[in-house]
Structure 1
Amino acid sequence: METEFSGIEQRLERLKKCLIKLEPFKEKSKKEFYQDEYLQDIVERNLEVAIQSCIDIANRIISLDELEKPKDYYGSIIRLG
């Protein structure tokens, strides 16, 4: 059953999955990271999805609370800061 918070819950789940995928790479050195383009792609993509999830969650909360719509993504995060 869809609720007004369903979108937030889905994005939180997506964020959690990205963070789990990124966890093993914490142990990599800078040298290993910069030498492995595939590793860079994996990390970059999961960071992009995680960040977009945070922005989407912020925008949904702003909408639910009927707050003034921010000009940009930065404003979405700061508004809830």
Structure 2
Amino acid sequence: VAELTDVEQAIETVINQFHCYAVKGQKEYLTPNEMRELVVQKLPHLGKCVGPLDEKIECMGDPDEAKLEFGEYWDMMGDAKAPEASGSAPR
């Protein structure tokens, strides 16, 4: 079995984190609270993107009842690039 590339490892991590945090009810979605917990605990380097991401989470509705399906989560992760991805990370 070939080793995964960095991109493949990142994709695997994004998928695994979704399933680890989708603990209430079904594993097909995250609640806003689960999404916020995932971001705070596992994505500390989102830096400046945390504000806009937090606004998106707020727009989801009731923190315990709203549902974020994997495709929406994937899109949200793509929108929330870390500062180092654009080359502006502090050194």
**TM-score class normalised by the smaller sequence:** 0.3 to 0.5
Query: TM-score, normalised on structure 2?
Result: 0.31
Bigger share in strand:
2
Q: TM-score, normalised by structure 1?
A: 0.34
Over alpha carbons, which structure has the higher Rg?
Answer: 1
More helix by share: 1
Bigger relative CO (Cα 8 Å, ≥ 6 apart): 1
